[in-house]
């Protein structure tokens, strides 16, 4: 997979612990939401799966976020999902639904889960059409995307050794669980106004260094470089433990 090898201009913020990471993420989400709603009357947010973002998701259903987020003008999309039933603990949408969506006043028509009850290729085409409809044929520019990174350097369901898929949405297979998935592509991810990586834990330290300092092109997470939007990596001290530059407020490396 040919990806740009230098992870340019990310803002790296090292937070004191995992709960500060979640809180900072929730604050960034509210700030982006209020700005976008003020400027254009709506806010589009895309969520990743996995365990790291769950603390942030749960916070969004509690005060002060529950009543200060403009939920009635917010639209939720997914970065990726597994082709499993919604009630499966491995379902990214199902987990987010249980963690916070069922507890917030967001109109159901504003929640856009990926269609996982179809073959992955069909589901990917279906989701791309939904994005095309939502963005009225214009290129889908999401306001905020929360991303994670696997210990193998994957992000979304974009796995090492796989060719970067074309289009906006693709079918994939891999990860844990090793199942078929639907994923947004780099083409779509890199059009976003803002991308925020949430990374916590010692097991991520090596891959964080490889992506942020060694700019190792083998790791897909390094391919998320918004063309004009801003890129923030929120790390806890364990995830940042192998980084040479320890300036907790380093804006760009
Ligand atoms: C997925 C996720 C994935 C996730 C990383 C990190 O569906 O698998 O979207 O890309 O962000 O695997 O997951 P953890 O936060 O659980 O480490």
pLDDT (tens digit, 9 = 90+) per residue, 127-173? 999 999 999 999 999 999 999 999 999 999 999 999 999 999 999 99
Cβ neighbours for 194, distance < 8 A, ≥ 6 positions apart: 28, 32, 143, 144, 145, 226, 229, 230, 231, 232
- Residue 126 token pair: 């279906």
Strand partners, 43: 74
Q: What's residue 9's pLDDT?
A: 75
Q: Going edge to edge, which strands form the sheet with 80-82?
A: 80-82, 179-184, 169-174
Can you tell me the mean pLDDT for 226-235? 97
C-alpha to C-alpha distance for 72 and 141, rounded to whole angstroms: 20
pLDDT at 251 over 60: no
Q: What's residue 3's pLDDT?
A: 52
Can you tell me the mean pLDDT for 16-28? 97
Of the given ranges (58-72, 100-114, 194-208, 236-250), which has the lowest mean pLDDT? 236-250
* Residue 247 pLDDT class (50, 70, 90 cuts): low
Instruction: Sort 249 into a burial class: Cβ within 10 Å, 0-12 / 13-18 / 19+.
Output: exposed
Strand partners, 77: 46
Q: Which residue's CA is the closest to the ligand 1 atom numbered 13?
A: 50
The closest-lying atom of ligand 1 relative to the alpha carbon of residue 53 is 15
How many Å lie between the centroid of ligand 1 and the Cα of residue 157?
A: 8
200 lines ligand 1 (CB under 6 A): no
Pocket test for ligand 1, best of 22, 120, 148 (most atoms within 8 A of CB): 148
224 lines ligand 1 (CB under 6 A): no
Cβ neighbours for 39, distance < 8 A, ≥ 6 positions apart: none
How many Å lie between the centroid of ligand 1 and the Cα of residue 150?
A: 6
How many Å lie between the centroid of ligand 1 and the Cα of residue 38?
A: 31
Kind of pairing between the strands at 43-47 and 144-147: parallel
What pTM value is reported for the model? 0.94
């Amino acid at each position: 997979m040919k990806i740009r090898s230098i992870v340019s201009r990310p803002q790296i913020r090292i937070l004191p612990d995992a709960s500060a990471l979640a809180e900072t993420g929730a604050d960034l989400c509210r700030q982006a939401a209020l700005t976008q709603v003020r400027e254009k009357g709506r806010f589009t947010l895309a969520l990743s799966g996995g365990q790291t973002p769950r603390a942030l998701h749960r916070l969004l259903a509690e005060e002060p976020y529950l009543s200060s987020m403009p939920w009635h003008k917010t639209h939720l999309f997914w970065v990726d999902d597994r082709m499993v039933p919604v009630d499966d603990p491995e379902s990214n949408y199902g987990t987010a639904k249980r963690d916070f969506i069922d507890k917030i006043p967001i109109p159901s028509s504003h929640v856009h889960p990926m269609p996982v009850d179809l073959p992955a290729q069909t589901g990917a085409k279906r989701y791309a059409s939904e994005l095309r409809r939502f963005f009225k044929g214009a290129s889908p520019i999401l306001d905020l995307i929360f991303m994670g990174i696997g210990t193998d350097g994957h992000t979304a369901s974009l796995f090492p050794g796989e060719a970067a898929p074309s289009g906006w949405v693709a079918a994939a297979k891999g990860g844990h669980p090793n199942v078929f998935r639907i994923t947004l592509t780099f083409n779509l991810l890199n059009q976003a106004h803002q991308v925020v990586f949430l990374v916590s834990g010692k097991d991520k330290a090596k891959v964080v260094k490889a992506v942020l300092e060694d700019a190792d092109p083998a790791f897909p997470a390094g391919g998320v470089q918004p063309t004009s939007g801003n890129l923030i990596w929120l790390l806890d001290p364990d995830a940042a433990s192998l980084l040479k530059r320890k300036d907790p407020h380093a804006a760009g490396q």
